[in-house]
Amino acid sequence: MIHMSFCSFLAYLLVKVLKVVELPSTMTRDLYLKFVVPIRALYSLSLWFSNSTYIYLSVSFIQMLKALIPVAVYSIGVLNTGRSENKWGL
């Protein structure tokens, strides 16, 4: 909870006081429904499904799946771009 409060305070300070980020003039209902609601819905579904796996799978299998996530992300990135290096040459 302290982490969330600190991040909220820091974001408010950067946006409102220091004006590091330009804010759009207004958040219309169409923008909210187009950009915010899908992200919120997909995140809540992801959280719900990931928590429900603990009921049906064993702990060791879940740990094995978590260890394979970086490999899956890298593989999808390579398949998506067709190369293994990024644009910075790292």
> pLDDT digits over 40-90, tens only?
999 999 999 888 888 888 889 989 988 999 998 888 888 877 665 656 555
| Predicted local confidence at residue 84, as pLDDT | 57
| Predicted local confidence at residue 85, as pLDDT | 62
53: which residues sit within 8 A by CB, 6+ positions away?
62
Record the pTM.
Answer: 0.47
Model confidence at 9, in pLDDT bands (50, 70, 90)? very high
The secondary element (H helix, E strand) that includes residue 44 is helix 37-56
Section 16-31 average pLDDT: 84
